[in-house]
Structure 1
């Protein structure tokens, strides 16, 4: 099973690339988590004997309702009038949290976004990048709450509280968003997403939420401001996202991966 970045990060002139390519060439079948990932694999290693796309699944837990206030003290203290925009995932350049800060600032200055708060939930893989985000946010006067890793319950509360979830994914050397499971988890709680149209993201989102062109901060800004200003649109797209999320389940993934076994 290939997921994205692991098939695009090798230099083609490296010994490791030749070793990995030989292993893939011997495989009877290569499973990929999206058509985009399978395409990237084929560009790097050539067409496999047989390539099968098996979309990932979402744990049913993500659809369950959540009650009570946040466990995280900073999130519990967020004013009710605040416009919460969230991004869930590792803090690293490929996830585009820095560009999201710029989009939020633009949404406020150019499109009338009121009282924004940007919540970044996830582990900081790159401390220098995390510091750069906070410095940029301070200069742009965008309030940021960097929570680190949250409990599943607080993540569900965050999706419920946020006007939208964002994933300004970027295609960097050797790194690509092959699927975007966080989009499905947000959708399971009825939270619409705004994401860049790269890698496997369009396959995951389908016609739900908003897809913006890669590196288009202004398009992200417009989409954020629109969701915050339009509760009816948020609810409609949130319902579509939840319906879409239900199409991604592990039983289907397992059945496609191991068809010789009985599932259900």
Structure 2
């Protein structure tokens, strides 16, 4: 029996985004595809009810601690239990640990330091350096992040494996148009065509420039709204004020966190998904938008060209005029929207959680020897 410990603490939150969704989907897929001689021990810090359904091959261990859980509870507990390997799906290897594989999602704080607080930059810098040093092997979710770790930290490329993320089966064009109509009406979006962003509201997502681009588009005579669907992150206040400063507060809708069940309809109802982020380790919302048949505008930076391929309009995220021009081009060109829809649907099929799980499991088994 091969025993794999997993830090499942990221899963146990009420509102999953980014690394939490990755942890949830990957744990579920690992449980589905692993052979019978593998046993998973899932460690959580409360809220075990938020875990995905798992088989008898997995046991759940609730080892609660209010602070410093990773270093004072996860690490010592796993070290004493002596698994073949510990898997940490997000960034931080415990100070005391058995053989460990860690996923480092991105190093955006290096590329755009001004989008993070000084304290957060220091935390991320220290934990990334430690994890690169302490882990037996590192997983990144794009070739772009792997290159950044090599270029900025001198990481050994032979100790890094790339595993692209998957896309949940819930993301697909809704079969019934009435579902789209009901969801858009629920969020008050039945007045005019809308652009959609999904993700945490924080500077790295470049939302201030998206709002500026919307103002340029409206000034050029286009009748559009912008929907920003996501929970607040750090430094979100200036973003939330920007629309009022430009006199278009009635055209920008901050919905807060949107439940997964509503996302496919919200995406399908949008004129375009606008995601010109400054930096992404992968850009999961781009794949989810493509899977729902929504035309995508995204960035020429970081991992986003790698993920979007030829299925999106790529723009310089620092060029507000370019973002506005892409919005206007999609608004005017029905044939282009149809082309991007078909390309996006095809490209989204390249990303699935079973493939991600098989690649991850191969790394874990290799490092368990």
TM-score (norm 2): 0.61
Residues 148-202 of structure 1: per-residue CA shift (max 9 Å, x gap) = 11222322112111111011212xxxxx311100000111100111112111111
Aligned position for 2:182: 70
> Do the aligned partners of 2:300 and 2:317 also contact (CA within 8 Å) in 1?
yes
User: Counterparts in 2 of 1:65-144, with a 5 A limit?
Assistant: 65=174, 67=176, 68=179, 69-71=181-183, 75-76=187-188, 78-79=190-191, 82-110=192-220, 112-113=221-222, 115-125=223-233, 126-137=235-246, 139-140=247-248, 143-144=251-252
> Do the aligned partners of 1:122 and 1:147 also contact (CA within 8 Å) in 2?
yes
Q: Provide the alpha-carbon RMSD of the alignment.
A: 2.7
Aligned position for 2:154: 46
SS at match of 2:362: coil
> Do the aligned partners of 2:199 and 2:285 also contact (CA within 8 Å) in 1?
yes
**Which has the higher mean CA deviation after the structures are superposed, 195-204 or 61-70?**
61-70
Q: 1:194 aligns with which of 297, 300, 311?
A: 297
- Ranked by relative contact order (alpha carbons within 8 Å, sequence separation 6 or more), the top structure is 1
> Do the aligned partners of 1:167 and 1:193 also contact (CA within 8 Å) in 2?
yes
Deviation at 1:204, TM superposition (A): 0.7
Aligned position for 1:251: 354
Aligned position for 1:241: 344
Identify if the C-alpha distance between structure 1 residues 96 and 74 changes in structure 2 by more than 3 Å, giving closer, same or farther. Answer: farther
Bigger Rg, structure 1 or 2: 2
Q: 2:264 aligns with which of 153, 156, 177?
A: 156
Aligned position for 1:4: 106
Deviation at 1:77, TM superposition (A): 5.1
Distance 1:50 1:261 in 2: 12
Distance 1:189 1:73 in 2: 19
Deviation at 1:102, TM superposition (A): 1.1
> Do the aligned partners of 2:108 and 2:280 also contact (CA within 8 Å) in 1?
no
Unaligned 5+ segments in structure 2 are 1-102
Deviation at 1:261, TM superposition (A): 8.7
Distance 1:15 1:64 in 2: 40
Distance 1:143 1:193 in 2: 20
Distance 1:64 1:189 in 2: 4
SS at match of 1:241: helix
